[in-house]
């Protein structure tokens, strides 16, 4: 696996970084066909008003990783405090956590319990390693079905002009780009529900597809219970991830703990990535 592909995989959730239930009956929500075209202001205001509202979020899901080499599946517990931090806990069997990763506003931490090692690095340390305008708020938006501006915390009305909006047929597309030249295409339906994101580099050799499906009502709000994520490298699919949510609970008490045992060895993020991707020292 090429280095650049590995880092794009990191951005796509750090989903492929992870390699290694009580269900509630909920009402399914369909995709709504667009009516008359709206002004840019009305369209984006509507998207902002209809996003999933929460201050804290607790969820249980299954994650399936599909690569050319292997298929893996595991239960994942997600805890999020909006605009502060969120954690993914990997619990593959017997309720025993083997891996935990936390994204906060200024850093990323990962704990590998199997090998008794951990990573704690600020985003400033990671600049130059990632081929994206990496931002905690953008990653948070991906998990909660929200449109975002690359590198920004929020979208203000005066920033709507940074999107090129096209309303044609049953769907609308909003295109923008980041400071490093990657392009982002968001697709929404007639209710301005976000249906997908497609991100690609200038040469269109690397692609991230993040599709939102199976919308159901959660506390009277539509939420995509299925997120389908694909990485395409030079016209070949190099990885796929499927997030299947079983339980989504907004605004419940959430505690984020990342206590690192004293015997754990600290390594760099690059060392962890090399170990998980099978790369040798380069």
What is the rounded distance in angstroms from the CA atom of residue 55 to the CA atom of residue 167?
31
218-239: average pLDDT: 91
What is the rounded distance in angstroms from the CA atom of residue 186 to the CA atom of residue 45?
15
- What average pLDDT is seen over the chain? 83
- Token pair of 63, please? 């994650």
Parse the chain into domains and list their residue ranges: 3-20+28-276
Which band of pLDDT confidence, cut at 50, 70 and 90, is reported for residue 36? low
> Quick count: other Cβ atoms within 10 Å of Cβ 229?
22
> 186: alpha, beta or left, given left = phi > 0 and alpha = psi -120 to 50?
beta
In the predicted model, is pLDDT for residue 239 greater than 60?
Answer: yes
State the pairing for strand pair 221-233/236-250.
Answer: antiparallel
Find out whether 53 and 250 touch, Cβ atoms under 8 Å: yes
Looking at per-residue pLDDT, the higher value among 24 and 271 belongs to 271
Find out whether 242 and 227 touch, Cβ atoms under 8 Å: yes
The answer as to CATH 2.50.20.10 being correct for domain 3-20+28-276 is yes
pLDDT tens profile 154-170: 999 999 999 999 998 78
pLDDT tens profile 64-84: 988 777 788 889 999 999 999
pLDDT for residue 162: 95
């Amino acid at each position: 696996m090429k280095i650049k592909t590995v880092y794009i995989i990191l951005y796509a959730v750090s989903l492929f970084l992870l390699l290694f239930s009580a269900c509630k009956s909920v009402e399914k929500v369909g995709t709504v066909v667009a009516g008359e075209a709206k002004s840019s202001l009305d369209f984006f205001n509507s998207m902002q008003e209809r996003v999933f509202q929460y201050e804290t979020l607790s969820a249980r899901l299954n994650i399936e990783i599909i690569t050319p080499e292997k298929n893996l599946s595991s239960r994942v517990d997600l805890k999020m405090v909006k605009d502060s931090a969120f954690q993914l806990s990997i619990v593959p069997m017997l309720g025993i956590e083997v891996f935990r990763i936390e994204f906060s506003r200024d850093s990323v931490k990962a704990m590998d319990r199997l090998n008794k090692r951990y990573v704690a690095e600020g985003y400033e340390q990671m600049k130059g390693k990632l081929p994206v305008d990496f931002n905690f708020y953008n990653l948070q938006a991906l998990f909660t079905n929200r449109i975002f501006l690359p590198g920004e915390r929020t979208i203000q009305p005066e920033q709507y002009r940074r999107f090129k909006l096209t309303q044609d047929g049953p769907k609308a597309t909003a295109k923008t780009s980041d400071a490093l030249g990657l392009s982002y295409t968001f697709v929404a339906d007639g209710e301005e529900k976000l249906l997908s994101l497609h991100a690609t580099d200038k040469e269109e050799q690397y692609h991230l597809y993040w599709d939102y499906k199976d919308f159901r009502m959660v506390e009277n709000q539509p939420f995509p219970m299925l997120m389908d994520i694909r990485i395409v490298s030079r016209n070949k699919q190099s990885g796929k991830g499927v997030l299947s949510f079983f339980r989504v609970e907004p605004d419940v008490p959430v505690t984020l703990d990342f206590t690192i045992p004293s015997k754990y060895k600290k390594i760099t993020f690059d060392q962890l990535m090399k170990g998980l991707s099978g790369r040798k020292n380069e």
